[in-house]
Structure 1
């Protein structure tokens, strides 16, 4: 009897595993369309700005350093509002519905930027687009973390960062290609219009992915959560164990405190402080000064506009390679170790860039030396800091308020991003090259913060992390 039933059982288990992996792959791919749109929308501004600064009669918007910073930062301020609002929406109505709403905003915002007739209209359209970008940045990692098991969570959540940098690379490549092939006024409008495509893919894809099982459990819908987990896990027994763990966690949470009181507990406040501090750490590395303004930095060394746009492709290539390395590293090393390693190299790269720009004569050698410093910076930023940040945002906070606290923390991260994006062109025009020494000093403080405050979360389930945080903080 066993000789006939065992092969059937083995085949059934194998089929279950294949189906589960397919569904997880599709779900992650759909969710990360939001990350792809996020990356493209934040990266394309680097290619569009040199053309938008042209006079209106030459197809531009006649930007100056202040309006450059305003247009760049408007998306990021919108992202701060979007991440905060999406945290509430995703806890109230679910991660999947929130992603669907954000997809519509991606499409509307992208079209608005493409047809903008004035600086004021562009700022408003970029703000709407920013709401979608910020909402996606807060919702996508949480959704992926909640459908992934503990052994897959780091790898799958890190794909969010991979899609962000892939979107940025796509933006850089298309900017250079369009600049080389099209010689028409308003070329930047074509660059910005392409951003509607990932938004469309996200909107359509949300009709083919399951709801978050942990969100269902948080609403007391344990049967629905188990049904979803049975599609996402390698066996029904594994799904059952996970649901039982969620039931136990929910009962303990219900017995302990209501949400309002939980938000006032010291360990939760400290976690929120750590989350906000990590957002400061990630943004005040100065990464987005490079992602948004590299062509302008290189033009100051004497490079032409098209050459600077082409050189910026190196940013995207290095970021994608670094993120792939980061996905490997994050599975083998602790979060703290990776963050601290990345910050040490970032400090050295910022100091080196400041020295290159300050002391080397302005020529092609300086241009390439500056680009080399930027690429080394990006290699370690995208390998050791960015993927770890987004992973920690998906796992640090307790289930009862995960969407809300992730939204608050990511919202603050976007405000820090906006601060850097707005002040950088002004700082460069007033302080000059020592601006990069200021970044290096700030990053030294961030290194001390990570060393003293960040707990380790590697190798734990989301429920185990919550239990550990309450005990340790």
Structure 2
């Protein structure tokens, strides 16, 4: 049975989804792949509580603290772009296996680091792995998922990220308070990361390659064999016909990589939209909270021990928000999700700024009010923005530029993240919580305007239908609702 392409809309008339052993198999594959997201979350979150004892042992200054934190983030920018391109040529599965090795090697380097220089080297290795995971894992999941549940399946990676960050916060709090008197306690915090790295490596050895990538490489029979393990028989055959139809059109039009992007203004526009969306997500300041949450809470009035424990609250709400966001992904349009999220986060920024002005330092309720507002901000971010942005970037680009498109977009995301992580302590020191969050509010309002005027809708359509509409420009006219 073959799929029928409806020319007016580009939507494929595919057989309905059916449950069966293939459903469980798809769930297992997704679970294994999201260990990459778990590692992403743990490695970015562990610095939150490890930084203080690390600085004391290695004699770090405020600037070198920023270097240690941001070295992972800048390396992640390189890893995102390099691995996005690598996965186009080498395959999604093999690239993720390589990332598991990088995660393990980076962990060993950090745990054994005798000096600042070796520590930064280990953080760079971890950053390459984190960036690669951020660009390859969501694409792998999106290409395996049926379009009806693509949002919730691909979104599991972002849920795994916040679970990893929460795990880091909890591990930091337990180890920091129980063994804080031990020199090198931060090394134990980092060592925990080795376990999911091994699990990702072993698990991915048993996971199939992306069927869409296999079709692009002319390996039709392998693609069909993979689809048959994660779909019913008639659905597998129909989806293969869809993918082959688009792949043939690409081949005939000689569409490939950068040449296709710069020769088609619609492709260039979608790339710029992807970049803008990734940058907007980071300029909310979410990762400043995830990296320096303890610093913000100390600035608000908590002592260091209390801040370490209170810092678990944003981690918990991030997971709760992630679960809600995952539920909403296949029920609420992407644009509505983005607009709601940016409205809420910008409001929270304004309220944090106002609270820090209205409640002077020393006021006993000041730290708790600011903690509540930080938790509200993180919850809004995770529920409406983080999962949606990662899913959007994994689905909006045509197959022939998917690795490049996601890689470049996430490269820019990580670059902005890196500058924020490098200069955030200095920004808080110079302007306090008030100035910092008012600045985030201004940027959030600009991001909201960008989404309203530029970002098209993608929910409820096959990747092949989206590809056709993006290439022709129809998505900007018909599907931005």
Corresponding residue for residue 339 of structure 2: 340
Say which of 24, 48, 59 aligns to 2:50. Answer: 48
Residues 77 and 131 of structure 2 are in contact (CA less than 8 Å); yes or no, is this contact kept in structure 1?
yes
Tell me, in whole angstroms, the C-alpha distance in 2 between the residues paired with 1:152 and 1:412.
28
> 2:311 is paired with a residue of what secondary structure?
helix
Corresponding residue for residue 400 of structure 2: 400
Say which of 174, 199, 202 aligns to 1:201. Answer: 199
Corresponding residue for residue 366 of structure 1: 366
Corresponding residue for residue 24 of structure 1: 26
Corresponding residue for residue 437 of structure 1: 438
Say which of 96, 100, 105 aligns to 1:99. Answer: 96
Tell me, in whole angstroms, the C-alpha distance in 2 between the residues paired with 1:372 and 1:354.
13
* Higher alpha-carbon deviation: 355-364 or 289-298: 355-364
> 1:185 is paired with a residue of what secondary structure?
coil
Alignment of 1:293-304 (within 5 A): 293-304=292-303
Question: 1:17 Cα deviation (Å)?
Answer: 4.0
Q: How many residues align?
A: 452
Corresponding residue for residue 150 of structure 2: 153
The CA RMSD measured in Å over matched residues stands at: 1.2
Corresponding residue for residue 116 of structure 2: 119
Corresponding residue for residue 329 of structure 1: 328
Tell me, in whole angstroms, the C-alpha distance in 2 between the residues paired with 1:312 and 1:411.
28
Corresponding residue for residue 426 of structure 1: 426
> 1:364 is paired with a residue of what secondary structure?
coil
Tell me, in whole angstroms, the C-alpha distance in 2 between the residues paired with 1:121 and 1:71.
10
Tell me, in whole angstroms, the C-alpha distance in 2 between the residues paired with 1:52 and 1:355.
33
Q: Which has the higher helix share?
A: 1
Residues 47 and 309 of structure 1 are in contact (CA less than 8 Å); yes or no, is this contact kept in structure 2?
yes
Residues 84 and 135 of structure 2 are in contact (CA less than 8 Å); yes or no, is this contact kept in structure 1?
yes
Corresponding residue for residue 12 of structure 1: none
Say which of 253, 258, 268 aligns to 1:256. Answer: 253
Residues 111 and 190 of structure 2 are in contact (CA less than 8 Å); yes or no, is this contact kept in structure 1?
yes
Residues 279 and 416 of structure 1 are in contact (CA less than 8 Å); yes or no, is this contact kept in structure 2?
no
- 1:45-92 CA distance string (max 9 Å, x none): 1011122232xxxxx222222112111110001101111111111110
Tell me, in whole angstroms, the C-alpha distance in 1 between the residues paired with 2:113 and 2:353.
36
Residues 79 and 130 of structure 2 are in contact (CA less than 8 Å); yes or no, is this contact kept in structure 1?
yes
Corresponding residue for residue 284 of structure 1: 283
Tell me, in whole angstroms, the C-alpha distance in 2 between the residues paired with 1:356 and 1:52.
32
Corresponding residue for residue 216 of structure 1: 214
Tell me, in whole angstroms, the C-alpha distance in 1 between the residues paired with 2:48 and 2:261.
39
- 1:142-177 CA distance string (max 9 Å, x none): 000111111121110111111000000000001000
Tell me, in whole angstroms, the C-alpha distance in 1 between the residues paired with 2:298 and 2:394.
38
Tell me, in whole angstroms, the C-alpha distance in 2 between the residues paired with 1:253 and 1:157.
25
- 1:198-256 CA distance string (max 9 Å, x none): 111100001111110000001011111111101110x2111010111111111111112
Tell me, in whole angstroms, the C-alpha distance in 2 between the residues paired with 1:345 and 1:301.
21
Residues 301 and 364 of structure 1 are in contact (CA less than 8 Å); yes or no, is this contact kept in structure 2?
no
Corresponding residue for residue 312 of structure 1: 311
Structure 1, unmatched stretches of 5+, are: 1-15, 55-59
* Higher alpha-carbon deviation: 448-457 or 428-437: 428-437
Tell me, in whole angstroms, the C-alpha distance in 2 between the residues paired with 1:258 and 1:378.
40
Structure 1 residue 110 and structure 2 residue 104: aligned?
no
Corresponding residue for residue 351 of structure 2: 352
Tell me, in whole angstroms, the C-alpha distance in 2 between the residues paired with 1:439 and 1:301.
17
Tell me, in whole angstroms, the C-alpha distance in 1 between the residues paired with 2:410 and 2:234.
35
